[in-house]
């Protein structure tokens, strides 16, 4: 529902008809008179009398009343907000003009605009746009066979003319950090509450980072409250140039190195109304990545593709659980740059084949960052300099996790753990879904079915394993007074979200009617901490799984619905699933301590993750939090799983672009539910998925109670053996994976990364999302189809060593080509890149035991006989070990002999090396041991 009634074509025709009728033709009437000899040549003057005067006055009153009544009827049929559809004053040569016959004359400039460069003037969904409606907005109208059908993406047939009214830059001043200017709009747009005067700031924050802010100098508008760098010194040698276009206002940013245009906002008009902000830019190529969270390929389609951002509890369809308005763009010459609009309101990001991009949001400000790279890894590092680099995970987070909604009891959960141990299958973490709770109440456990839960957790700890349980934000509001402390104390502290009238907002989730904590309130963080502390004293959990935190609501808004106001029904609603901002969440007009839910909805998961991580840090260990809903800077506090998938081969494949995208977004601790959440997995699918899941940064098997159990022990001996071998492989690679996370934490690197990160000059890698790399050296090529024992993979140019036969020196010299590789059911294809040294360890059933095993270096020489690698090592769970210097960082370089260089304060450990035997290179274990610093 929207705040104004859409006009149907019939209504438009009817309401406009009187305006189109020509005035009475006097010449025609004269001709009639001339043909009628009975008409006098001069009109007779009417006789004046009191009766005639009264009759005339009465007639005039009736006419006035009739006109008033007709006007009232027409007014009731028209939109309540007339300003929304108010036609612009025609300006310039492109204005729609009316010919002598009353028809519309299309300006010539409209026909000259290529389809790819048409920017949509009527983006509202569910509207059949007529020519009259389009011209009422002073826009061009071209309706042809290639135009989009109603409700579908395609070429817009109502689009902006070249001189559509926009802002004018009337003043600009050089300031310490860059420039500040004044923008003026002199003509209203078709959205209400235009902000006519804007402040425009360009900040040269670093040589590789430019920031542009457009704000309302007269009124404070909502700005996203995440910590970003506050720079006080202008960049001394920026890699970019900035040009200002005064009328209509636009900004052009170019790369100094080659003159490439990275940002050009002159391609479409700027909008800045109270609830509608829009800005467009051209793009230097069609290679666009990021812009989460959606279920899509790694490389986005630019053929009229709209990506909506508004956190939503949904199966993998449209706008998903998180909102990330960051895009990475590969340029045609292998260079890269990034664009980040720091805005948390509901948003559409539109990609079109010009290529061009449009941001369209319903609130906040325009706060845009441009990152110059110049390579894709540098772009991600620069982005994370702004939003924050991911936290270093606790070591056991990188082990194998097992979960199911439907264990139904702690004893059944315990049996699964024991079965895993009996078969010698690695497992570090056991999870429970909501079935552990007492009537789905947070901070409780079922006293009957889960009575032995504390014993299970203690047993896990004795065996160097760990426990994670789920928490949902919805707090039951229907328990007897005094019986449920979380709600009673929450009411006392006033920490719940209220409706627009200031009363408690009640929704519905698993426990029934619920209230929702307001995590924008610092008091809520203290209340959350107290609840976690109370529960931890009963069940000493190790990590938290925070779910349903978009927040999800089984009602649309609340038990009482939502009011009809401008926050609930803005003039423009992005393409959210359900059609309204309140669909399966709380009312947009609901009130938090800081602002309305309209502004902070997509921040809810981030705020809850921050509160959860804060508590776990107080325990003195690195926090482990996995969140469904995410926002930029989430990696500081939590990881993410990709949500509810299905046990289908397509979902197996789609998990790879999802994993890679979240690495680009600064949340490297990510993975999908191995073997699928819903439906029943086949044995073959689960084996292949376990092999792929071995190389998810977050490796968790999880499924629903409606499906058959799918933990590794449930399958045949052959399948079980294949899964075990895959997991042991992960555990052997733990030193390598742990070091990759160190670089993500320290430098903002990706852990799992697309091939084009390492081969940016090879454009064949730009669309590859069925393979990926760990770091720069380990290439993973999984089987993603049923019934095959081979896979076709792309090997970029260079020498690649088969991981399984590297000790025999088996390698393949690739020119940059696809290769058919033998992949039986018990094998996932892995290759190591030339010139790399990969640290591994002897695996065991937990990472704690594995990490005490000898170190093993796999050395793959380049054609020149060179190789290098590194290793980060610490106690693996203490806080801030790098920041306090309690670590060992060792670099390995092979130049005929192996040389090591170490830093930090590390514990001595044993190591040995293996180099391809056919390459006769002498290495000494003793040389490694002597070079390591021993501090403990």
* Residue 144 exposed, middle or buried by CB count within 10 Å (0-12, 13-18, 19+): exposed
Spatial separation of the C-alpha atoms in residues 141 and 161, rounded to whole Å: 10
8 A C-beta contact, residue 194 and residue 212? no
Spatial contact of 886 and 902, defined as CB atoms under 8 Å apart: no
- Residues 329/339, Cβ–Cβ less than 8 Å: yes
Pairwise CA distance, residues 359 & 225, whole Å: 20
Q: For residues 427 and 845, what is the distance between their CA atoms, to the nearest angstrom?
A: 6
Closest CA relative to residue 547, chosen from 693, 666, 704: 704
For residue 254, report the phi and psi dihedrals to the nearest 5 degrees: -120, 150
Secondary structure E strands in 410-542: 429-432, 466-471, 475-476, 507-509, 512-515
Angle at 145 between CA 139 and CA 149, to 5 degrees: 75
Closest among 808, 770, 811 to 792, alpha carbons compared: 770
- Check the CA dihedral 568-296-331-782 and report its sign: positive
Among residues 348, 382, 518, 550, the one annotated as catalytic is 550
Which helix (H) or strand (E) is 744 found in, with range? Answer: helix 734-747
Yes or no: say if 622 and 877 are a contact pair by the CB < 8 Å rule.
yes
Question: Max Cα separation, the chain?
Answer: 130
Query: Known catalytic residue: 348?
Result: no
* Cα–Cα distance measured from residue 189 to residue 216, given in angstroms and rounded to the nearest whole number: 17
Helix, strand or coil, per DSSP, at residue 144: coil
Angle at 655 between CA 652 and CA 660, to 5 degrees: 145
Q: Which residues contact 488 (CB under 8 A, 6 or more apart)?
A: 481, 482
The answer to whether 550 is a known catalytic residue is yes
CB 847 within 8 A of CB 731: yes
In 3D, which of 791, 821, 826, 822 has the Cα closest to residue 684?
826
Backbone phi, psi, residue 815, to 5°: -95, 5
What distance lies between CA 365 and its chain's CA centroid?
Answer: 19
Helices (H) and strands (E) in the chain, counts: 20, 46
DSSP state of 903: E
CA distance linking residue 370 with residue 590, whole number of Å: 33
8-state DSSP, 553: -
Distance of CA 564 to the CA centre of its chain: 29
Residue in 367, 547, 679, 870 annotated catalytic: 547
Question: 73 — phi, psi (to 5°)?
Answer: -60, -45
**What residues does 753 pair with on adjacent strands?**
773
Which residues are marked as active site?
547, 550
């Amino acid at each position: 529902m929207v705040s104004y009634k859409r006009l149907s074509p019939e209504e438009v025709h009817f309401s406009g008809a009187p305006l189109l009728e020509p005035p009475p033709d006097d010449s025609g009437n004269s001709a009639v008179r001339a043909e009628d000899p009975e008409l006098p040549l001069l009109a007779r003057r009417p006789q004046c009398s009191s009766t005639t005067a009264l009759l005339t006055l009465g007639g005039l009153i009736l006419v006035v009343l009739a006109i008033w009544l007709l006007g009232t009827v027409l007014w009731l049929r028209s939109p309540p907000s007339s300003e929304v559809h108010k036609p612009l004053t025609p300006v310039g040569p492109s204005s729609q003009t009316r010919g002598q016959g009353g028809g519309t004359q299309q300006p010539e400039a409209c026909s000259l605009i290529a389809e790819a460069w048409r920017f949509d003037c009527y983006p509202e969904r569910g509207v059949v746009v007529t020519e009259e409606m389009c011209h009422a907005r002073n826009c061009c109208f071209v309706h042809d066979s290639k135009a989009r059908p109603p409700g579908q993406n395609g070429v817009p047939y109502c689009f902006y003319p070249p001189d559509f009214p926009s802002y004018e830059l009337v003043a600009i001043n050089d300031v310490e950090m860059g420039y500040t200017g004044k923008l003026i709009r002199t003509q209203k747009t078709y959205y209400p509450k235009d902000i006519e005067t804007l402040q425009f700031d360009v900040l040269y924050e670093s040589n590789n980072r430019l920031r542009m802010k457009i704000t309302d100098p007269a009124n404070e508008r909502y700005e996203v409250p995440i910590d970003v760098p506050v720079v006080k010194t202008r960049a001394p040698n920026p890699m970019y140039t900035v040009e200002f276009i005064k009328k209509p206002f636009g900004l052009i940013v170019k790369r100094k190195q080659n003159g490439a245009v990275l940002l050009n906002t002159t391609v479409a008009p700027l909008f800045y109304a109270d609830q509608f902000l829009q800005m467009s830019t051209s793009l230097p190529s069609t290679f666009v990545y990021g812009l989460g969270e959606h279920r899509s390929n790694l490389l986005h389609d630019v053929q009229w593709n709209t990506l909506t951002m508004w956190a939503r509890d949904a199966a993998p369809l449209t706008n998903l659980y998180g909102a990330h308005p960051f895009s990475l763009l590969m340029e045609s010459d292998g260079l890269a740059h990034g664009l980040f609009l720091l805005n948390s309101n509901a948003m559409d990001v539109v990609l079109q084949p010009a290529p061009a991009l449009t941001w369209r949001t319903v609130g906040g400000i325009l706060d845009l960052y441009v990152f110059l790279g110049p390579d894709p890894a540098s772009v991600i590092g620069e982005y994370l300099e702004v939003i924050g680099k991911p936290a270093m995970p606790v070591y056991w987070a990188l082990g194998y996790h097992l979960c199911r909604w439907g264990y139904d009891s702690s004893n059944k959960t315990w049996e699964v753990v024991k079965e895993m141990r009996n078969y010698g299958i690695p497992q570090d973490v056991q999870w429970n879904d909501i079935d552990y709770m007492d009537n789905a109440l947070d901070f409780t456990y079922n006293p009957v079915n889960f009575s032995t839960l504390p014993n299970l957790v203690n047993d896990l700890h004795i065996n160097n394993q760990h426990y994670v349980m789920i928490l949902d934000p919805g707090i039951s509001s229907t328990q007897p007074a005094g019986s449920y402390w979380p709600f009673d104390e929450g009411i006392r502290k006033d920490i719940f979200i209220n409706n627009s009238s200031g009363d408690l907002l009640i929704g519905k989730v698993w426990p029934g009617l619920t209230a929702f904590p307001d995590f924008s309130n610092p008091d809520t963080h203290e209340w959350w901490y107290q609840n976690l502390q109370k529960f931890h004293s009963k069940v000493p959990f190790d990590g938290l799984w925070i779910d349903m935190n978009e927040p999800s609501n089984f009602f649309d808004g609340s038990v009482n619905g939502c009011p009809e106001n401008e926050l609930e029904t803005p003039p423009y609603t992005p393409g959210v699933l359900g059609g309204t901002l309140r669909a399966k969440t709380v009312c947009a007009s609901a009130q938090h301590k800081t602002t309305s839910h309209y502004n902070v909805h997509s921040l809810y998961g981030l705020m809850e993750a921050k509160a959860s991580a804060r508590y776990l840090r107080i325990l003195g260990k690195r926090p482990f939090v996995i969140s469904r809903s995410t926002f930029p800077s989430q990696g500081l506090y939590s990881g993410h799983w990709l949500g509810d998938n299905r046990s289908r081969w397509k979902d197996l494949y789609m998990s790879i672009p999802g994993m890679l995208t979240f690495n680009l977004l600064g949340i490297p601790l990510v993975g999908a539910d191995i073997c699928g959440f819903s439906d029943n997995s086949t044995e073959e699918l689960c084996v292949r998925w376990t092999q792929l899941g071995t190389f998810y940064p977050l490796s968790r098997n999880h499924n629903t109670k409606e499906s058959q159990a799918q933990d590794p022990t449930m399958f045949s001996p052959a399948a079980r053996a294949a899964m075990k071998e895959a997991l042991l492989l992960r555990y052997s690679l733990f030193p390598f994976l742990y070091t990759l996370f160190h670089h993500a934490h320290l430098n903002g690197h990706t852990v799992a990364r697309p091939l084009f990160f390492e081969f940016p000059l090879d454009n064949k890698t730009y669309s590859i999302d069925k393979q990926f790399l760990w770091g720069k050296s380990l290439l993973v090529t999984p089987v993603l189809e049923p019934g095959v024992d081979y896979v076709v993979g792309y090997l970029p140019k260079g020498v690649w060593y088969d991981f399984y036969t590297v000790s025999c020196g088996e390698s393949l010299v690739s020119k940059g080509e696809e290769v058919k590789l033998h992949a039986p059911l018990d094998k996932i294809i892995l290759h190591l890149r030339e010139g790399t040294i990969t640290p591994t360890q002897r695996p065991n059933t937990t990472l704690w035991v594995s990490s005490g095993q000898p170190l093993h270096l796999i050395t793959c020489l380049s054609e020149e006989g060179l190789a290098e690698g590194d290793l980060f090592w610490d106690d693996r769970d203490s806080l801030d070990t790098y920041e306090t210097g309690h670590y060992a960082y060792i670099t390995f370089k092979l130049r005929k002999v192996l040389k090591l260089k170490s830093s930090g304060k590390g514990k001595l450990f044993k190591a040995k090396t293996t180099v391809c035997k056919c390459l006769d290179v002498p290495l000494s274990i003793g040389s490694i041991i002597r070079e390591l610093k021993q501090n403990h």
